[in-house]
Every structure is written in structure tokens, then in C-alpha cells.
Structure 1
Amino acid sequence: MTSPLDRIRATALELPETEERPSHGQPTFFVAGKQFAQFRDNHHGDGKTVVCVRVGSVDEQALLLEAAPGTYSKPAYLPTWLSINVAGDAADWDMIADRIAQSWEFAAPRRLLEAGGR
């Protein structure tokens, strides 16, 4: 069985010019030096297994938090980001992969986006 981190890693590293390195002790994914996804497992004892991704705005963040509080939460230390629950069988991996890719697009430099992006 593939772990949530393995699935997140495979999805993130498939995107152009992505690298993984630890940030604040967490597996974190970067494009052109900008963070776009971070895996957290029981971060500061919160009991959650999540991937944190960028969102387009605080309005989008608020809408998603209200629409699906069992799926989304607000991550500590990352304003205007979103945590997505990746624990258990209910995780929607197609949606998670799409959110990781969207987050990459928010962080990627224009030259990568103009070259076709993901």
C-alpha cells in the first residue's frame, strides 16, 4: 500500500523543475525556490495527516473551508494556504493531485507557465 507521502511526492515531483527538501522539519516541495506543497503528519501534535497547498485567495480558502470542513482545514503558519486531509480511504487523490498542480502554478515562474506549465 502506498503511503500518503509517497503519493504526494510522486504527484509533486512529476511537475516541471520541482524539488523536495525539508522545511521546518517537513517534506516540502519547491519550484524555482518557491514552496508550493508541504506534507504534515501530526504537525505539533494536531493529529492530522495533510498536504498544505497554496490557494488563489483568502476568499477561495474561506469558501473551501466552509464547504468541506472534513476535507479542508487552515494550516498553521501558512496564511492563504489550505490543508487537505490525506488520511484514510476517503481521500480523493484525483482532487488532491489537481490541488497540488494548481498550487505549483501559483508558485511557478512565468517562463514555466508560458512553456506549457504542467
Structure 2
Amino acid sequence: MKTALRWLLAAFYFAAGVIHLAAPAPFLTIMPGWVPAPHAVVLWTGVAEILGAIGLAQGVSLPLRRAAGWGLALYALCVWPANINHFALDMARADGGLGLAYHVPRMFAQPVIIWLALWVAGCLPLRRAPA
């Protein structure tokens, strides 16, 4: 199951990276105003997602896979302000935007995605305490 989740997460990040590069406009609209060079940031986040996905997909190089796991976890942490900003902007719209049914699960999913990147990459070995 761990391998399947690793491949699924790699595919998710690869697709997200391609979308960031091919269609950056939606990501620019949710970027907090304090982020410098927003267009460059969106493009570089796409590159980071693609490289992280490639690293995560490595079956042979455990150090590369672990580096990708840490990188993607940190990436997900760093983009969280954009998700929070999107939540605030969307909920301030007269029509409520995408609504709480979209944004609340997304907020709770972010720490899960961070943990998942670390777990599937082998950065968090789960061991049982000796009995």
C-alpha cells in the first residue's frame, strides 16, 4: 500500500506541476499579496512539484526519494498560505465562492499531504516499541 500511495502522490504532484507551468493564472489569483514575483513563484513551484514527483518515484535511490519527500513536505507547508488566502478570498465573495465544503477539507488535507510525503518517501519509519 505504501508503494501505491507513493506512486499516487508522485502522479498528483507531477500533474500539479504541469498545470502550474501550463496554466499559471488560477494560482496567481490566490497568491498572497506579500509574495514577491508571484509569476516566477508559481512557475518555480511547478518545477519543484515535477522534480519532487520524479524523486518520489525513485525505487532504487532511497536518499533521492527521501530528499524528495522532505522537499515536497516543505513545499506543501510553504504553499499553505496561498491556500489560506484562497479560503479567505473565496469566502469573502458575495456568492461564497467554492464554499466551506471545498475549503475546510482542503485545510485539513494539507497536514495529511505533508505527513504522506514524508511517510511514503521513507522519512518517517514507523516502528513499534519493543514489548
- The structure whose residues are more often helix, as a share, is 2
Q: Flag the structure with more relative contact order, 1 or 2, with Cα contacts below 8 A and sequence separation at least 6.
A: 2
Same fold (TM over 0.5): no
- The structure whose residues are more often strand, as a share, is 1
**Larger gyration radius, structure 1 or structure 2:** 2
- TM-score, structure 1 length as denominator? 0.29
- TM-score, structure 2 length as denominator? 0.27
